[in-house]
Structure 1
Amino acid sequence: MTPVLGSSVDVPTEDGVADAYLAHPADGAPRPGVLLYQDAFGLRPHLRAMADRIAGAGHTVLVPNLFYRQGRAPVVELPEFIDPSARPEIFEKLGPVIRELTDERAMRDADAFLGWLAQSPLVSDGPVALTGYCMGARLALLTAGHRPDRVAAAAGFHGGRLATDQPDSPHLVAGKVTAELYFGHADDDPSLPPEQIERLEQALTEAGVRHRCEVYEGARHGFTQADTAAYSEEGAERHWAALLDLLDRTF
């Protein structure tokens, strides 16, 4: 693994300033950019560690606090080990914060994050890659359709509500996507039932999007997150192999 440096940065947006974590190889040379979209629990030590691992493979990684409108991270105080079944008040506090992040706001933010990466001397010229977790998987797909000129590849893991029957469903952007996509779905995930998995696959195939969608058997929603009760070491390592393979192919 390449030695990595990490630091806190502020990213100006149309609605304020988003605090973020930036990880990059220590030599300071420009590398392909990766925008990492958080899960519902937000920017915290575990996501910083994930960014460090991606940076160690030769990338410059930005992890913004998507909830910056409510304050700097952590917006909601979290225990070191997150078990929502034992601490139901976590989601009671997070629910309103998540609902505040509308798709319109999220895509305004995406423009800011992608623009910041494009201007950074630590990021090489050209489009970037996205990886997202839980709610971040949804945002990765939306961003790939919103800014196809800036996104070369996008991955999403244990995403929810990716292909609903609503008019704002993320799968409806498939016709605008030019990036290669990869999705690693959690098995038996209430937020992504089989009919949504099938609908997503059909939409991507009919749109001619280069993609692969896989269900990780036995993995729960949130399986990549080592600081939560949903973590699966097997599923997480499979995710790392798939993600890094996608980045290697892209860059």
Structure 2
Amino acid sequence: MRENEVLVVTKHGRMPTFTVRPDGGGPYPVVILYMDAPGIREELRDMARRIAAQGYYCALPDLYYRLGTVRFDLPRRDDRMSAVVGACLRSIDNDTVNEDTAGLFGYLDGEADAKSDRVSCVGFCMSGRYVVSLSAYFGDRFASAASLYGVGLFTEDDGSPHKLMSQVRGELYFGFAETDTATPPETIAAIEQAIKATGGNHESQIHPNSRHGYCFTAGRAYQPQAAEATWAKMFKLWERTLK
């Protein structure tokens, strides 16, 4: 596979972005991987590589670039580090991620190996909210999106995903943990109610015996059955909507 670290020009500066795609001729369908709250690390790059290995051009943008180069040594995480992680995640919102993605589209549209007219995306935790906002904001540009144990899916603000779903034209998949204080049952119920109200081709799934963060192999909540079931769902989603 071919990997690059590039600087994508956005409204707010230059956003470091990891890109990876198969060897050989393209163009390849694009999947954008949006990071979770702890930010860019090798585990996310490995996820991008896994996506690319199935025939996709994957882009992993660093959404914290406005703050500088932010990297966390997660095995040494304590309350003080968690406080910094929380401050970082609060530094971005729907609008900033939409603007950053507009810059990323400008870059992808100039890439010969990227088929970027209709793309998909996946967001974990913090970004589980943003993939819904992006799908609503960009309309047909997003053929599909996967939101995995997303936080902030059910809030009072106008940008809450459960309110935006009626504007989404692509297909949405929501993967939830069975036990997750960040995404309680009432949030899942609100999303499922919004799915029914829109009549769209969306799906919500609760993975048994799982906790928040179940997809990350390096995390304490890793649950291989739930993780692999989620990957299978996403690859079917991308096969159906991008190829």
TM-score, normalization by structure 2: 0.94
Q: Does 1:168 align with 2:163?
A: no
Q: Does 1:57 align with 2:48?
A: no
Q: Deviations over 1:220-242 (max 9, x none)?
A: 11111112212111111111111
Counterpart Cα distance in 2 of 1:189 and 1:166: 22
Q: Deviations over 1:127-171 (max 9, x none)?
A: 100111111111111100110121001011111121224433122
Aligned length: 242
DSSP-derived class of the 1:147 partner: helix
Q: Which amino acid aligns with 1:53?
A: R
User: Of residues 32, 37, 59 in structure 1, which corresponds to 2:34?
Assistant: 37
Q: Does 1:132 align with 2:115?
A: no
User: Of residues 13, 23, 29 in structure 2, which corresponds to 1:16?
Assistant: 13
Counterpart Cα distance in 1 of 2:225 and 2:106: 35
> 1:185–1:108: structure 2 CA closer, same or farther, 3 Å change rule?
same
Q: Does 1:76 align with 2:52?
A: no
**Residue equivalent to 2:171:** 180
Counterpart Cα distance in 2 of 1:136 and 1:169: 13
Q: Does 1:233 align with 2:224?
A: yes
CA contact (8 A) 2:214 2:223 kept: yes
Gaps of 5+ in 1: none
Q: Which amino acid aligns with 1:203?
A: A
**Residue equivalent to 2:182:** 191
Q: Which amino acid aligns with 2:40?
A: L
Q: Deviations over 1:27-83 (max 9, x none)?
A: 1421001111111111110000000010000000000001000113xx03314x46x
1:192 Cα deviation (Å)? 1.3
DSSP-derived class of the 1:222 partner: coil
CA contact (8 A) 2:133 2:159 kept: no
Identical counterparts, % of pairs:
33
User: Which has the larger strand fraction?
Assistant: 2
Q: Deviations over 1:158-198 (max 9, x none)?
A: 11121224433122111110111111101121111111111
DSSP-derived class of the 1:76 partner: coil
Gaps of 5+ in 2: none
CA contact (8 A) 1:114 1:150 kept: no
User: Of residues 66, 91, 108 in structure 2, which corresponds to 1:117?
Assistant: 108
CA contact (8 A) 2:38 2:72 kept: no
Counterpart Cα distance in 2 of 1:121 and 1:91: 40
DSSP-derived class of the 2:114 partner: coil
Counterpart Cα distance in 2 of 1:236 and 1:203: 25
CA contact (8 A) 1:22 1:62 kept: yes
DSSP-derived class of the 2:33 partner: strand
Q: Which amino acid aligns with 1:16?
A: G
Counterpart Cα distance in 1 of 2:14 and 2:25: 24
Counterpart Cα distance in 1 of 2:52 and 2:187: 32
Counterpart Cα distance in 2 of 1:102 and 1:157: 17
